[in-house]
Amino acid sequence: MKEAGIYIHIPFCAAKCPYCNFYSLPHAGSKWQEYADTLCRVLETWRGKGIAAKTLYFGGGTPSLLPAEQLLQIKDTVCRVFGRPEEITLEANPGLCSLEKLKKLRQGGFNRISFGVQSLNEQELKQLGRLHSPGQAEQAILQAAEAGFDNLSADLMLAVPGQTEASLSETLSRLTALPIAHVSAYLLKAEPGTPFYTPEMLALTQEEERCRRLYLQTVSFLEQAGYRQYEISNFSRPSWESKHNLLYWQGKEYLGFGPAAHSFWEGQRLCYPDDLSAFLDSRGTNQQVLESQIDPPEEAVLLGLRLKQGISLTRLKETYHCSLSKAEPFCRRCIREGLMEHREGRIALTPQGFLVSNEIIVRLLECLEPD
């Protein structure tokens, strides 16, 4: 059997956050059952192809907007077609999960919840257009634990308008006092096509020194609280890393279903267009090829340097026949500047290096030449 991660995109939201550029639509409850039925029909077409699901991830949008019955319908179909995954994650809005619903999901086989907390400061949540309060976020996490979830994650947003080191410290203190095993902390970006894409927001999110301070504060605080950084934006207690997201960063295969969902399968990158109607009308047959040729050494560097464990230059040389005559001096310079570290035969970015990872990756790729 061939292992793969399975991603299900739920393209519905109660309200669109002003910073979000993921594909989502107003909640459109009249479409929910049709969408669940269409997804299940598409999933059934993969039956008997010798694929075993290692992980299952419901993202969005706001997956927790759907009733538990529809979420379980889709989950059960995945399990029938691909077998039972080790990790079954639901992204959830803290204001859309009652204790009763959480219990149904846990009893039905979901074993991980990722809450979009973003902040535990009232004013920062308002700036982000979030519909929940700090108290609702804390209550949702406690209720999920009461419902039987021990694998709980929380998303945080850094460099929010008005955020200070003091307000971030309070959020981190309150968050790590809760029964969560994993934290994802992302620097706010003003994405094209969103309401946040204004000169003022661009200036704020590109304020390098402020972003640097808040990011490094988060890394330090979480490490001291027992959350080990294992990727640019992800931290976990020992053994509680996101198995699904690790598949992406380790270059493993995954299949995505639903509008805007991406796949990496048999050496190709594929996606469904950002169009719910087209997905429904075509019954999920409108998937497109994004890339048919993947550059393996480039992929290894791009993905591997996201991870705290980094990459092996020796493996690049031996597996992909890359010359290291320019790469090794470049890496030594990065190490001297505190942007990289060398341990156990691997090079890895430090927290300071993660802040400029794009530039380092581009430069390193330029240094790699055929041997």
Q: How far apart are the first and last CA of the chain?
A: 35
CA distance 367 to 15: 45
Q: Rounded to the nearest 5°, which phi and psi values hold at 319?
A: -85, -40
Six token digits for residue 66: 């759907």
CA distance 113 to 150: 9
Count, residues in the chain:
371
With contact defined as beta carbons under 8 Å apart, do 13 and 26 qualify?
yes
pLDDT score of 9: 97
pLDDT score of 344: 83
Q: Cα Rg for the chain, rounded, in angstroms?
A: 21
pLDDT score of 80: 97
With contact defined as beta carbons under 8 Å apart, do 290 and 269 qualify?
yes
Q: What is the pTM of this model?
A: 0.95
Q: What is the DSSP code string of 216-273? A: HHHHHHHHHTT-EEEETTEEESTT---HHHHHHHTT--EEEESTT-EEEETTEEEE--
CA distance 73 to 78: 9
CA distance 319 to 59: 34
Q: For residue 314, how many other CB atoms are within 10 A of its CB?
A: 11
pLDDT of the chain along its 371 residues, tens only?
A: 899 999 999 999 988 888 988 888 887 778 999 999 999 999 999 999 999 999 999 999 999 999 999 999 999 999 999 999 999 999 999 988 899 999 999 999 999 999 999 999 999 999 999 989 999 999 999 999 999 999 999 999 999 999 999 999 999 999 999 999 999 999 999 899 898 999 989 888 889 999 999 999 999 999 999 999 999 999 999 999 999 999 999 999 999 999 999 999 999 999 999 999 999 999 999 999 999 888 888 999 999 999 999 999 999 999 988 889 999 999 999 999 999 999 888 999 999 999 999 999 999 999 988 77
pLDDT score of 14: 85
Q: What is the DSSP code string of 47-70? A: TTSSEEEEEEEEEES-GGGS-HHH
CA distance 319 to 315: 6
Pairing of strands 182-187, 152-158: parallel
Question: Using omega within 30 degrees of 0 as the cis cutoff, is the peptide bond preceding 29 cis?
Answer: no
Six token digits for residue 346: 């691997």
> What dihedral do alpha carbons 329, 333, 338, 341 form, nearest 10°?
10
Q: Rounded to the nearest 5°, which phi and psi values hold at 285?
A: -100, 10
Please tell me the chain's helix, strand, coil percentages from 3-state DSSP, rounded to the nearest 5. Answer: 40, 25, 35
Q: What is the DSSP code string of 136-156? A: HHHHHHHHHHHTT---EEEEE
pLDDT score of 354: 97
Place of tokens 């192809």: 49
